[in-house]
Amino acid sequence: MKFLLIEDNQELAHAVMNRMQLDGHVIDHAPNISDAVAFSDTGDYDLILLDIMLPDGDGRDFLTRHRAGEKDTPVIVLTARSQVSDRISMLDMGADDYVTKPFDHAELQARCRAVLRRKARTAQSVIRRGNVALDPVAGHIEVAGKTVTLRNREFRLLELLFNAPGQVFSKQKLVDRLFSYDDDVSENAVEVYIARLRKHLDPSNVSITTLRGFGYRLDHG
């Protein structure tokens, strides 16, 4: 999964990023609202972790703007405010959950998993293309009835393609979804993951088609 962390406390931000990366997630960090808006307007994220007190404004303004744009990316608020009324107001504004500072990182990770599970179940529990079934909750696929476990980025790449069959994804678009802005990777990395996925899909009637000069497309029988 790809996360956006909006947090001005550098020490806390690095701690959260390290824990999330250990779980296999890609995470971009915005220390203020201005950077957060730039990230969210140009990138696609599976989850946003949002601090409230930021150097250039109130995180609730970002949340209001985010929901006004009809984006359904889940948002977990990181807040030092313990009043019940404050937490209720943030949920009413569109937050999916909140964690009160100081928090245990294991609790934050658990809340992230819970929010992502709810979104996956609301969207669709299992995605089927041809004779391949992708389970976003369990994190594996079934190819012609046989369970196949993929590496984290392989799974996320296939999930992107599964959610938009027939749509062409450029290499740069896939790099943006699979890696953070700080990762030093080339578009060749996408070719490696595509090659691995093709091996996994070989027994199926699902294929990843290369359109030279344009990108990749998922096709199925």
Beta bridge partners of 97: 76
For residue 156, the model assigns a pLDDT of 87
Task: Spell out the SS3 assignment of 135-186.
Answer: ECCCCEEEECCEEEECCHHHHHHHHHHHCCCCCCECHHHHHHHHCCCCCCCC
For residue 40, the model assigns a pLDDT of 93
Query: CATH number of the domain that 180 lies in?
Result: 1.10.10.10
95 and 111 within one domain: yes
Look at 140 and 117; give whichever has higher pLDDT.
Answer: 140
- How many domains is the chain built from? 2
101 and 10 within one domain: yes
pLDDT digits (tens, 9 = 90+) for 95-137: 999 999 999 998 999 999 889 878 766 555 788 999 999 987 7
Query: CATH number of the domain that 104 lies in?
Result: 3.40.50.2300
74 and 153 within one domain: no
SS3 106: helix
75 and 62 within one domain: yes
Looking at residue 131, the DSSP 8-state letter turns out to be T
Question: Where in the sequence is the domain holding 214, given as residue range(s)?
Answer: 127-220
For residue 118, the model assigns a pLDDT of 81
131 and 118 within one domain: no
Last residue of a domain, one of 85, 102, 122: 122
114 and 156 within one domain: no
CA distances from 151 to 49, 131, 141, 148 (A): 24, 20, 11, 10
30 and 114 within one domain: yes
For residue 48, the model assigns a pLDDT of 97
159 and 60 within one domain: no
Closest alpha carbon to 99 in 117, 66, 73, 75: 75
- Residues 76 and 87: their CA atoms lie apart, in Å, by 11
User: Could you tell me the two tokens for 150?
Assistant: 């993929």
Taking the CB of residue 137, how many other CB atoms lie within 10 A of it? 12
Last residue of a domain, one of 62, 87, 122: 122
113 and 7 within one domain: yes
Last residue of a domain, one of 122, 156, 191: 122
pLDDT digits (tens, 9 = 90+) for 15-35: 999 999 888 889 999 999 999
pLDDT digits (tens, 9 = 90+) for 57-85: 999 999 999 988 877 899 999 988 767 77
Pairing of strands 132-135, 127-129: antiparallel
79 and 34 within one domain: yes
pLDDT digits (tens, 9 = 90+) for 171-217: 999 998 888 887 878 888 999 999 999 999 999 999 999 999 999 99
For residue 138, the model assigns a pLDDT of 76
192 and 109 within one domain: no
Look at 51 and 176; give whichever has higher pLDDT.
Answer: 51
**Who's near 88: CB < 8 A, 6+ residues apart?**
none
133 and 113 within one domain: no
Question: Dihedral, CA atoms, 50, 106, 151, 77, nearest 10 degrees?
Answer: -10
| Report field, pTM of the whole predicted structure over 0.85 | no
